[in-house]
Amino acid sequence: MIVDDEPNIVLALKYLLEEEGFDVHCYYDGDTAIENVAKVVPDLIILDVMMPGKDGFSVAKYIRNQSSLENTAIIFLTAKGTSQDKIEGYDSGAESYIVKPFDNDEIVAKVHDILGFNM
Amino acid sequence: MDARIVILVSLFYLLLLFGVAIYANKRSKVGQSIVNNPLVYSLSLAVYCTVWTYYGSVGRAAASGLGFVTVYLGPTIMAPIWYMVMRKMILISKQLRVTSIADFLSSRYGKSTFIGVITTIILVFGIIPYISIQLKAIGYSFDLITSQNSSNDFWDSSTFYKDKVNYFTILLAVFTILFGTRSLDPNERHEGLIAAIALESIVKLVAFLAAGIFAVYFLYDGLTDVFSKGAINPITSHLVTLKTDPAAATNWFWVLVLSAVSVMFLPRQFHVSVVENNNVSFVRQASWLFPLYLFLISFFVLPIAIAGKLSLPDGSEPDMFVLSLPLFHGHDWLALMVYIGGFSAAASMVVVSVISLSIMVSNNLLMPFLLKTRTAAIEGYALLSDRLLYIRRLVIIIILFLAYGFYKSVSSNFPLVSIGLISFTAILQLAPAVLGGMYWSNANKKGAMAGLLAGFFIWFITLPIPTLAESGIISKSLLTDGYFSVPWLRPYGLFGLENVDHISNACIWSMIFNIGLFVVVSLLTTQDVDELAQGDIYVHIEKYSNTPDMEVIRREASVQKLKQLLVRYLGSAKTRYLLKIYDGKLSDKNDDNASQEFINFIEKTLTGAFGSASAKLLLSTDIRRQSVTLEQLNELLKQTKEILEYSQALEEKTTELTKTTQELATVNTQLKQLDVLKAEFISTVTHELRTPITSIRSFAQMMEKKEDLLPEQKKEFLGIILKECDRIKRLINQVLEVEKIDAEVDALGESSSIDSTVRLALSRLQPQIEEKNINLTYQSSDSTIMVNLAEDKMLQVMLNLLSNALKFCDAQAGIIKVTLERNDIVNTTYLEVYNNGQYISPQYHNKIFEKFTQLKDGNLAKPEGSGLGLYITRKFVEQAGGKVSFISSEKEGTTFILQFP
């Protein structure tokens, strides 16, 4: 599951992950993501921080409070790159934190890594 | 009315006054003074209105019509001068701790004992007759109010113990002692007394107004009725016309001068207006409140006089019309009220005058004498202050019984006003020395002595002595033959002066000799060091009141000796208390040199308690003064003036510096705020740059790595990359634009058509409008409207506003309306851009057009732009001489309004 308000970034990630054979769902703001996450029950969410509606940290906290979603991994993908932001990100329950702009290979590897570990 | 009722009411009234005084003292001790305000201050000044005003004015009006007015006109006309002189007198007296008019003069002329002595003697001689008429009026009014009750044959004024005035005198003495000599206060402040005086002023005003209203509205049908009936009747017709002969004019003039001077320098006036003053600023309000009081209390004088003459039986005493009118017409209770009003007028005058005289007699007459005789030098003559209180009590009793004696032998034969004017003329003798001392540096002790003595002597031979002759105490032939039987030494026509009244005669000759000798002797003789130093304080008080401890001549003393001095004269308890109040840098070392500040403190304390001349004597053995010659002192005084000017200049510099520092601090805060904004801006800009770069990088990487991409995919990716590149370019351009605007001075001389620019902007944004499926309408009333702005700038303004509208309008059913119209009446073009989107929360309303402001709302976590669009818009619109504003509400959406001239 990809949540980001930048359509072009979502598009790029969708290409990359579908190429790898993943089933990809895309959302463009925090509120719709929360609405749909229980239906989708994704293995992994790539989450932007600054979005309209609920921001990424709130979405992550929401997911961490749902028992049905305890196996969902979270990767933050954001332009906010200070260490304080990273700490807040990990505190809200993320498995990984990637600062934009990202390397395609890195993000694919990270996804494989986390999902492989979980499975 | 029964005498017992009158006596009981009088006693009860005195008790009430005493209660008020005690209450005021209590309040003042806990710091909640009821006296410390301009109204009470002004009311206390009304101690000026004695029985002379209360009973005497009517008597004078009954004899000579409007002539009585001068006594109230004087203080009223002189109010501006009174204000200036009072202010200065108060400042000087507070600075030097002066507690009486005699001490004021003594201190000015080198703390001279002799000046203090003659001033005190003049005042005692001058005021005793004045006090005697108060006693007379109390006795007379008492007689009148109890006269219908014939049972009181107990009273017999020829036998001492049967004379009621005698008992009144005793009562007033007790009252004065209780009020004035409870303790020795170095400031001579009596808040309780002032509260009682203010109450008495209200009582006498209310009572007199009541009598006036009774006479005018109950006995007659208003003022017009009284005056018209008075004008017809031959007994009173002369009262309502003004006399115009030269003799009357001379008399008017001198009474005017006398009253103007007396209201400042009478001992009781000096006491209430200067010594008891809490705050020098009260003088300003008093300068109109006090004349107002005088106007009110003199308003009904003439109507009462006419009513009395017309309706009272022949032979009624005019001085008592106020009281006999209600009595004769059977209104006993109104009469009792009037009687209490008159009693108030008398009591307040007597108490304050006698307290003030007792301070002068003890401090300026007896103390220097005691200190110079051997007894004072004996150790163990301790606690001078206690002894002083006994002296004062004794003085009070003596003065009151002297006044009583004068009443018995002289005053009973004369109308109230003529005796009062004799006292005023005595006060006039002080005027040259006091005013000269305050405004003329060259005035000196010898001049003041000569003037005072000459003036007093002339006064004495032209008023009191002939008055004694008139009452038969000395031979009446003096009046017709003159002194030593020399015709041009006739007391009422001195040096052959004819056609003037007694008062004018006395005023003219005493002033000629007083002022003449004062000026001539001052010019011919020199001052000594003390006079020069004190004179400088008096004439240039503003210099000293700013720097209270400035010391012109250096003085040295040991702390221990000064402390001993205080203990010796004031007692150890009082000394401990005073030293506690004084929190200067006082060393405990016995041989330590006292600071100038401490020496000043001791000197002021002793001056307040014993008078300036006595304080000088007390300190003379313990303080060593740097010896200076007159020339040196003159030089020193000049220097202190320069130092003062220098310090004032320094103060100005400091104020300036403080101002600059504050300005710098403000600028600093502004810069810091700007810095924070800039930091935020940079973080926003970098974030905004990262986003497109992320997409670009990602798609470019895909195109590089994946060789199996379809041509359409490649094209799509390249399209995205190009779009994101444009986004970066736009951002960079805006940042540069802002920098340009900040540096730009003006951009005039260019213009463009609004209508065509709007159309151009709309065509540029067409793809987005269609993409978001927005309902956009544009209404233009006139396509020829021009704006004083280059087309590219106007285009940017429109693009900014429109893309904002696009960004914020409702996502599902967006509506944007653009309207352009011109109002020729107000000569303004309106261009409005409306969108139906989210409203702007009030916290942003002030900031929205500022640089770097971005809306961050719950629903809009991510700033979409650079925070520069509206700032640029505003700047451009302002360059075109226009204004930009907006209206935003939750229901209606947001409209941005541009106004161009």
CATH number, domain of B271, equals 1.20.1730.10
In a domain, B531, yes or no: no
Mutation site, B691, B702, B707, B721, interface A, largest A CB count within 10 A: B691
In a domain, B478, yes or no: no
Quick check: B701 and A104 CB within 8 A?
yes
Q: For residue B515, what pLDDT is reported?
A: 92
Quick check: B701 and A103 CB within 8 A?
yes
Q: What are phi and psi of B604, to 5 degrees?
A: -65, -40
Alpha helices in B706-753 (DSSP H): 711-743
In a domain, B609, yes or no: yes
Longest dimension (CA), chain A: 34
Residue ending a domain, among B725, B740, B755, is B740
Which residue in B has a C-alpha nearest to residue A50's C-alpha? B862
Q: Look at residues B431, B413, B496, B509 and name the one whose alpha carbon lies nearest to residue B463.
A: B509
Are B715 and B751 contained in the same domain? no
In a domain, B884, yes or no: yes
Are B619 and B679 contained in the same domain? no
Which two tokens mark B517? 């000798």
In a domain, B454, yes or no: no
- State ipTM: 0.88
Give the nearest partner residue to B694 out of A51, A100, A105, using CB atoms: A100
Chain B residues within 8 A of A56 when measuring between CB atoms: none
Q: How many residues does chain A have?
A: 119
* CATH number of B667's domain: 1.10.287.130
Q: What is the DSSP letter of B266?
A: S
**How far is the C-alpha of B161 from the C-alpha of B684, rounded, in Å?**
105
Domain boundaries, chain A: 2-98
Q: How many residues does chain B have?
A: 901
Count the neighbouring beta carbons within 10 Å of the beta carbon of residue B544: 20
CATH 3.40.50.2020, applies to A2-98:
no
Which residue in B has a C-alpha nearest to residue A100's C-alpha? B694
Q: How far is B824 from chain A (nearest CA, A)?
A: 44
Q: How far is A102 from chain B (nearest CA, A)?
A: 6
Quick check: A12 and B695 CB within 8 A?
yes
Mutation site, A77, A78, A104, interface B, largest B CB count within 10 A: A104
In a domain, B393, yes or no: yes
DSSP character string of B111-165:
S-HHHHHHHHHHHHHHHHHHHHHHHHHHHHHHHHHHTT-TT-TT--TTSGGG-HH
Using DSSP, state whether B443 is helix, strand or coil: coil
Give the nearest partner residue to B860 out of A6, A52, A80, using CB atoms: A52
Give the nearest partner residue to A52 out of B701, B724, B859, using CB atoms: B859
Chain B residues within 8 A of A13 when measuring between CB atoms: 698
Quick check: B690 and A52 CB within 8 A?
no
Chain B residues within 8 A of A79 when measuring between CB atoms: 686-687, 690-691, 694
Q: Look at residues B455, B571, B467 and name the one whose alpha carbon lies nearest to residue B513.
A: B455
Q: How far is B754 from chain A (nearest CA, A)?
A: 34
DSSP character string of B512-538:
HHHHHHHHHHHHHS---HHHHHHHHHH
**pLDDT tens digits along A23-53:** 999 998 888 888 888 888 898 999 988 777 7
Q: Look at residues B668, B430, B644, B477 and name the one whose alpha carbon lies nearest to residue B547.
A: B644
CA B42 and chain centroid, separation: 12
Residue ending a domain, among B624, B653, B683, is B624
Residue ending a domain, among B713, B740, B767, is B740
Are B790 and B699 contained in the same domain? no
Give the nearest partner residue to B862 out of A9, A16, A51, using CB atoms: A51
Q: How far is A79 from chain B (nearest CA, A)?
A: 6
Chain B residues within 8 A of A19 when measuring between CB atoms: 706
Quick check: B694 and A16 CB within 8 A?
no
Which residue in A has a C-alpha nearest to residue B719's C-alpha? A8
**How far is the C-alpha of B863 from the C-alpha of B591, rounded, in Å?**
79
Number of structural domains found in chain B: 4
CA B506 and chain centroid, separation: 37
Q: For residue A118, what pLDDT is reported?
A: 46
Quick check: B701 and A11 CB within 8 A?
no
Which two tokens mark B82? 């009174």
Structural domain that includes position B883:
746-900
Quick check: A79 and B686 CB within 8 A?
yes
Give the nearest partner residue to B861 out of A19, A50, A104, using CB atoms: A50
Q: How far is B753 from chain A (nearest CA, A)?
A: 37
Q: Write the CA distances from B612 to B338, B372, B388, B444, B615, integer angstroms.
A: 42, 15, 15, 17, 5
Quick check: A79 and B691 CB within 8 A?
yes
Question: What is the helix (H) or strand (E) element at residue A29, kind and residue range?
Answer: none
Give the nearest partner residue to B724 out of A5, A8, A102, using CB atoms: A8
| The dihedral sign for the CA sequence B646, B652, B657, B658 | positive
**Spans in chain B with pLDDT lower than 50:** 150-151, 378-381, 587, 589, 856-863
**How far is the C-alpha of B273 from the C-alpha of B83, rounded, in Å?**
11
Which amino acid does the sequence have at B535?
G
**pLDDT tens digits along A52-111:** 778 888 888 888 888 888 888 899 988 877 778 888 888 888 888 888 888 888 888 888
Count the neighbouring beta carbons within 10 Å of the beta carbon of residue B548: 11
Phi-psi region of B373 (alpha: psi -120 to 50; beta: other; left: phi over 0): beta
Are B786 and B703 contained in the same domain? no
Are B249 and B281 contained in the same domain? yes
Are B717 and B750 contained in the same domain? no
In a domain, B418, yes or no: no
Whether omega before B548 lies within 30 degrees of 0, making that bond cis, reads: no
Are B150 and B268 contained in the same domain? yes
Q: How far is B823 from chain A (nearest CA, A)?
A: 41
**pLDDT tens digits along B869-893:** 787 888 888 888 888 888 877 777 8
Give the nearest partner residue to B690 out of A13, A52, A100, using CB atoms: A100
DSSP character string of A14-27:
HHHHHHTT----EE
**Across-strand partners of B555?**
B625
Interface contacts (A, B; CB < 8 Å): 64
Which residue in A has a C-alpha nearest to residue B859's C-alpha? A53
Chain B residues within 8 A of A9 when measuring between CB atoms: 691, 694-695, 698
Quick check: A104 and B705 CB within 8 A?
yes
In a domain, B893, yes or no: yes
Give the nearest partner residue to B861 out of A52, A79, A100, using CB atoms: A52
Are B607 and B686 contained in the same domain? no
Are B133 and B186 contained in the same domain? yes
Are B600 and B712 contained in the same domain? no
Which residue in B has a C-alpha nearest to residue A102's C-alpha? B694
Are B187 and B101 contained in the same domain? yes
Chain A positions contacting chain B at CB under 8 Å are 5-6, 8-9, 11-13, 15-16, 19, 50-53, 55, 79-80, 100-105
Q: What are phi and psi of B733, to 5 degrees?
A: -60, -40
Are B862 and B724 contained in the same domain? no
Chain A residues within 8 A of B693 when measuring between CB atoms: 100-101
CA angle at B177 for the pair B172 and B183, rounded to the nearest 5°: 160
Chain B residues within 8 A of A52 when measuring between CB atoms: 859-862
**pLDDT tens digits along A1-10:** 999 888 888 8
